[in-house]
Amino acid sequence: MSLNSGKVDSASLGRRLRRMPASCKFDKVNSSWLTVQARHGKSASKSPRQPRAQAASIEQSLRPGRARSRATSYLPRSSGLANVLRRSSTPVYGRRFGLSQVEWRIVALAGEHAPDLAQRTGGTHGPGQGPDLARRERAGRGAAGPAANTGARAAASASRSPSAVTQLYDELMIFGARAQLTSCSTA
């Protein structure tokens, strides 16, 4: 039912509204009547602004329990695996590079997007940054102190010298691949 289709005077509209059962509710956004099932169903309760047909198709796909069971069986396994991998890689990166988990994520993201970052920031680096900084990072002598804070400095210098982060990122990737190969061969 649409209010825009044809001329509807207020009196007839009022009569029609009074005839509607109390359980019906008008969806003002989609200009359609919500049924009791759509209002109290799972998909409709999560997003009441969905059109009725779309909500019904989602309910239909969930009803046999097929999609739900698939999601519930995949997710715990894959997230559990990711969680164990993250926990096992954190001490390795901490010992080798002095990177905490958050710092590692920053370096990984900055390194992955370094070309774009370099383009956006001009791609220049001043003295003591860029390759020079990366060399010092590798030698364990940072610009501001011991190598324990490598990640924070690398992340802080990401906007100024993306190439330094790229080099550190490449080094981390090679180290990670080597560690994986070693653990696979010894397991």
Partner 1 sequence: MSDAERREFFEILDRLTSLARSILEREQNA
Least separation in angstroms between CB 75 and partner 1: 11
Helix (H, G, I), strand (E, B) or coil at 40: helix
Stretch of residues binding partner 1 (CB under 8 A), selected from 71-79, 127-135, 141-149, 151-159: 71-79
Q: Is 69 in the site for partner 1 (CB under 8 A)?
A: no
User: Which of 104, 109, 110 shows the shortest CA–CA distance to 90?
Assistant: 104
Contact between residue 96 and residue 148 where contact means Cβ atoms under 8 Å apart: no
**Which tokens in the block code for residue 13?**
């509209």
Least separation in angstroms between CB 91 and partner 1: 5
- How far is residue 9's CA from residue 61's CA, in Å, rounded to a whole number? 40
Q: Is 81 in the site for partner 1 (CB under 8 A)?
A: yes
- How far is residue 18's CA from residue 113's CA, in Å, rounded to a whole number? 60
Q: Is 84 in the site for partner 1 (CB under 8 A)?
A: yes
Residue 77: burial class (beta carbons within 10 Å; 0-12, 13-18, 19+)? exposed
Q: Is 187 in the site for partner 1 (CB under 8 A)?
A: yes
Residue 36 or 85: which CB sits closer to partner 1? 85
Residue 58: how many other CB atoms lie within 10 Å? 18
Residue 90 or 149: which CB sits closer to partner 1? 90
> Interaction with partner 1 in 135-164: which residues (CB under 8 A)?
none
Q: Is 57 in the site for partner 1 (CB under 8 A)?
A: no
Kindly state the DSSP code that residue 35 receives in the 8-state scheme.
P
Stretch of residues binding partner 1 (CB under 8 A), selected from 50-58, 80-88, 111-119, 129-137: 80-88
Q: Any residues with CB less than 8 A from the CB of 159 and at least 6 apart, and which?
A: 117, 121
Among residues 78, 119, 124, 159, the one that binds partner 1 under rule CB under 8 A = 78
Stretch of residues binding partner 1 (CB under 8 A), selected from 72-80, 103-111, 125-133, 160-168: 72-80
Which residues in this chain contact partner 1 in the complex, by CB under 8 A? 73, 77-78, 80-81, 84-85, 87-88, 91-92, 183, 187
